[in-house]
Structure formats: C-alpha cells, structure tokens
Amino acid sequence: MNALAATNRNFKLASRLLGLDSKLEKSLLIPFREIKVECTIPKDDGTLASFVGFRVQHDNARGPMKGGIRYHPEVEPDEVNALAQLMTWKTAVAKIPYGGAKGGIGCDPSKLSVSELERLTRVFTQKIHDLIGIHTDVPAPDMGTGPQTMAWILDEYSKFHGYSPAVVTGKPIDLGGSLGRDAATGRGVMFGTEALLNEHGKSISGQRFVIQGFGNVGSWAAKLISEQGGKIVAVSDITGAIKNKDGIDIESLLNYTKEHRGVKGFDGAHPIDANSILVEDCDILIPAALGGVINRENANEIKAKFIIEAANHPTDPDADEILSKKGVVILPDIYANSGGVTVSYFEWVQNIQGFMWEEEKVNNELKTYMNRGFKDMKEMCKTHSCDLRMGAFTLGVNRVARATVLRGWGA
C-alpha cells in the first residue's frame, strides 16, 4: 500500500470513529490547490534545462499551509499528496495554527552546481510567489534542500513583497532562523519517547535503542537519548549498519560521521547487515529514514516492545495489525516527528514579532507542546477505545473538521 492509500485509509478510519458525514469527509480529503510550474534555467555551460516544480496545498481551515520543499529526481505525486495531507493532521495534533502543504522540484541536486541550484530556486519562487506568503503558505526545507535554499526563496519573494522573513522557516540564523531548529525533530522524538515510557512506568535511562537512519533526525535523537542514559545498540544509514550490544559511543560516532560521511567503518562497533537493523534485539526501535520500511515481510521478526516513528509513514497498515497483535506499542509519526514543524512555528512567530528567543526558551516550549500533544492523544484513545495511531488521527481530523464547520465551509 503506497503512502497516499495508507494515509487515506487512516483518515477514513478516524472519520468513522468521529462520525463525520460523507460530504464533510470528502471536503477534508480533497486538496485546496495543486500547483505545477515549468522552471527553465540556463546551466553553467550555457545550455537550457527545464524542470517541473510543484506545490500541493492541502488545507487552510486552521491557518496558513505549512510544509517542506524537496529537490529529488523521483518526485511522486501521490507521495507528495500524502505528505501534504499528513502535515494537515500533524499541525492539528501539535495544536499549532497551520494547515498542510508539500512540494518541490523534480531534479537531482547532486548533479547541479550551487549557482544552478540558486537560479532554479529563484525561478521556482518567481512562479509561485503570489501563491505562498506569511499568512497563506509557509514553505520549509525537506529532502535535498536546506537553510541556503530557504535564504534564496526569502530573497526572491522579498523582491516582490518587501522583506518578509516569516515567508519560510528553517532559515539560516543570520536571516531570522530560530535557535534550536536544527535539533528540533530529534529533540521532539526524545520528548515523545520520554512521555510514552513514563506512561508505562519506565524512563529512557537503561533502555536499549536501535535507530535506522543517522541523518539530521536520527543523529540528534541518538545524541539526546544517549545523554538521557539510553543505550544505542545499533545504528544504520545509507553507507551501512553497525552494532555494539554494550552501547555505541554516540559522541565518537558523530565525530566519525562528520569526517567519513557515514557510519560504515566506525571502529567502536562491528558491522552488520543493514537489512537486519529493524529486527535487531532492543527495547525501542526508531525508524528515522524512509517510509514503508516496516511491512508484513519483517513485522513478525521485530523484537522491540516500542516503535517511535521518527520517519514519515515508516509502518504500513499490514505491519500495524501484526505488531498490534504482538503487543508492540507504536508512537505514530504525526505526533512523534512533529518537533520540527513545532519549532518552525516558533520561528514564524519570532519573525512576525521581530523578537528572537533564547535556545532554552525554544526547547522548553517544545517540551510543553510535545507533552500536551501526548496527553491530548491519550484522551482520544480513551474516548474512542483505539490505539495511539488512531488517537492521533482522530485528534488531528477532529480539530480540522471543527475549524472547517465553524468557518462555514462544511459541505
């Protein structure tokens, strides 16, 4: 089942639990707007190259739409639609005043020079500048993009609308980016894990963790969890996988990956088959890489008692059922990885106020939001006698549905 089919299925299950009528259900599912634009740029060698840029704006009942811009050669429309929809529910679960969006450009950023990427970003911004905005749609970095991309969008947008730092988040600090944004998703994963374990009478200290993916989210989660006394026994990334049953020294691994661009060859652990990472013996499994990695083929082999979904849609519905029967507790992605968008919201707020926060305030506010989100999700679980995934979906869908009806948009 692809990401869109799985997201639609979860939405429809939540809709039935909430008793939404079919007209309202349909209006919540259909995207507000889908944008597709041609972006032609001169390359460094003087030839012209054309790329397709896109933006799916899913819902704006609760506020401006929010979501990443990715640069990737295989941009799959269904996946983008699914991720835009997930952002709608995720922002509602986090109780921040946004709707969902997603977009990007079909290109391979590794094959473009910095000046070509800049030209491409500026042309894309020229095509969509009147469809995004501080109170309309606020992009952020995603796969293949980063703070520099956001800086180019901000500059190009400002040529048309005046200096507008709040039009994008995930910016460089010098252009109004927020302290604590880089670690935000990983820190949110740690706070969410803490809240879940507290509910089960446990703490992070002494628990054994396996983390699939050692990019921004996985590496920050590993660092922060190990600082809380958690034992990281196995880690993987695109270069390979490593294991040390006594716990990996995360500080040393972070230094190693900076120099060698991957975990492969780290001498503080022994190499293992990357395909076995999800089924390694541990207490808590954190998939922090790609979607669809936990499926019916490997779900029965998973030994973890808890799964924290740091990636988007890492568990497919078949695996959900198998794991549920095994008694595995899954902390769903639309709550577990919402730390990033929450601190993006803080960045937007700081830009609008023109008043920047200290990092300690950012981190404390994030903890408050993550703890409140967990409490609200558990309340929905009790109300509807459902698991955490349906608790999160009913919470998010209900908040968007109420805003839709209150604004008079109910069909």
Q: What is the pLDDT along the chain (411 residues), one digit of tens a residue?
A: 677 888 899 999 999 999 999 999 999 999 999 999 999 999 999 999 999 999 999 999 999 999 999 998 887 788 888 889 999 999 999 999 999 999 999 999 999 999 999 999 999 999 999 999 999 999 999 888 999 999 999 999 999 999 999 999 999 999 999 999 999 999 999 999 999 999 999 999 999 999 999 988 999 999 999 999 999 999 999 899 999 999 999 999 999 999 988 999 899 899 999 889 999 999 999 999 888 899 999 999 999 999 999 998 899 889 999 999 999 999 999 999 999 999 999 999 999 999 999 999 999 999 999 999 999 999 999 999 999 999 999 999 999 999 999 999 875
Do the beta carbons of residue 166 and residue 351 sit within 8 Å? yes
Using the structure block, give the residue that is written with the tokens 């939540």. Answer: 14
Reduce the DSSP state of residue 97 to 3 states and report it: coil
Do the beta carbons of residue 214 and residue 235 sit within 8 Å? yes
- At residue 282's C-alpha, the angle toward residues 276 and 287, to 5°, is 60
Do the beta carbons of residue 308 and residue 285 sit within 8 Å? yes
Topology match between the domains 31-164 and 183-335: yes
Q: Extract the tokens encoding 33.
A: 């707007």
The reply to whether 326 sits in an annotated binding site is no
The angle, 0 to 180 degrees and rounded to 10, between the axes of the packed helices 147-161 and 114-128 is 40
The reply to whether 382 sits in an annotated binding site is no
Cα–Cα distance between 165 and 318 in angstroms, integer? 43
Instruction: Please choose, from the candidates 31, 42, 39, the residue with its C-alpha nearest in 3D space to the C-alpha of residue 129.
Output: 39
Instruction: Please choose, from the candidates 180, 238, 186, the residue with its C-alpha nearest in 3D space to the C-alpha of residue 209.
Output: 186
Reduce the DSSP state of residue 93 to 3 states and report it: helix
Whole-number pLDDT of residue 96: 97
The reply to whether 338 sits in an annotated binding site is no
CATH topology of domain 183-335: Rossmann fold (3.40.50)
Spell out the domain ranges in the chain: 31-164, 183-335
- Measure CA of the first residue to CA of the last residue in the chain; give whole Å: 29
Q: Name the DSSP letter for residue 399.
A: H
Cα–Cα distance between 411 and 409 in angstroms, integer? 6
Task: Give the Cβ contact number of residue 202 at 10 Å.
Answer: 16
Do the beta carbons of residue 53 and residue 39 sit within 8 Å? yes
Cα–Cα distance between 123 and 409 in angstroms, integer? 34
Q: Extract the tokens encoding 134.
A: 């501080």
Q: Which CATH number fits domain 31-164: 3.10.20.30, 3.40.50.10860, 3.40.50.970, 3.40.630.30?
A: 3.40.50.10860
Do the beta carbons of residue 268 and residue 226 sit within 8 Å? no
The reply to whether 10 sits in an annotated binding site is no
Active-site position among 102, 171, 223, 243: 102
Cα–Cα distance between 225 and 254 in angstroms, integer? 14
The model carries a pTM of 0.94
Task: Determine if residue 338 is left, alpha or beta; phi over 0 gives left, psi from -120 to 50 gives alpha, anything else beta.
Answer: alpha
Known catalytic membership, residue 102: yes
Whole-number pLDDT of residue 1: 65
The reply to whether 198 sits in an annotated binding site is no
Answer positive or negative: Cα dihedral of 295, 25, 28, 81: positive
Whole-number pLDDT of residue 408: 92
